[in-house]
Amino acid sequence: MFVLQPIGHVRSPLTSREQAPKQGDEGAPTAWLEFLPAFEAGLRDLQVGDDILLLTWLDRGQRETLSVHPRDDLNAPLRGVFSTRSQDRPNPVGLHRVTLVEKDGPLRYQALHLEAFDGTPIIDVKPVLDRLRER
């Protein structure tokens, strides 16, 4: 059995699929990452300007989906969901490369290029290794 514990939530003006771009670099608004106090120590080395990989639980995805029309284009042939970035998938883990652009206290970071909906649970944060630097 697997248990995922959210470490925070996304705060974004995006509330529906119709509003959201397909990828973060296609017009996603800035969003806030709000972390739970229990995880403050794990955030201490994140800095404004960092590129991170944000893992989310796409809680509004359809978990029984195995085939999709890429980018919701009904003219595109059906593809297996594991060859796409669809939020509809058996285990809806979202992977987002974002840039931290502002910090508001120890638990809030503003991020660019995040296409996740408001309230989406954050399940992990990892550094982008191509820009990792010694601190």
Question: What is the per-residue pLDDT across 36-68, written as a single tens digit (0 to 9) for each?
Answer: 999 999 999 999 999 999 999 998 888 888 888
Residue 134 domain-assigned (yes or no): no
Q: What is the average per-residue pLDDT within 97-115?
A: 95
Residue 124 domain-assigned (yes or no): yes
Residue-averaged pLDDT of the chain: 87
Range of the domain at 63: 8-128
Element of type H or E holding 52: strand 51-57
Q: How confident is the model at residue 71 (pLDDT cuts 50, 70, 90)?
A: confident
Total number of domains constituting the chain: 1
Residue 83 domain-assigned (yes or no): yes
| CA-closest candidate to residue 9, choices 88, 127, 111, 128 | 111
Q: What percent of the chain has pLDDT over 70?
A: 87
CATH number at residue 18: 2.40.30.70
Residue 94 domain-assigned (yes or no): yes
Q: 14-28, 45-59, 117-131: which has the minimum mean pLDDT?
A: 14-28
- Helix ranges (H only) for the chain are 40-43
- First vs last C-alpha separation in the chain: 37
Residue 129 β-bridge partners: none
Q: How confident is the model at residue 20 (pLDDT cuts 50, 70, 90)?
A: low
Residue 2 domain-assigned (yes or no): no
pLDDT at 69 over 50: yes
Contacts of 94 (CB under 8 A, 6+ apart): 54, 55, 56, 57, 58, 87, 116, 120
Q: How confident is the model at residue 130 (pLDDT cuts 50, 70, 90)?
A: confident
Q: The pTM is what?
A: 0.85
pLDDT of residue 21: 45
Dihedral over alpha carbons 14, 124, 4, 9 (to 10 degrees): -30
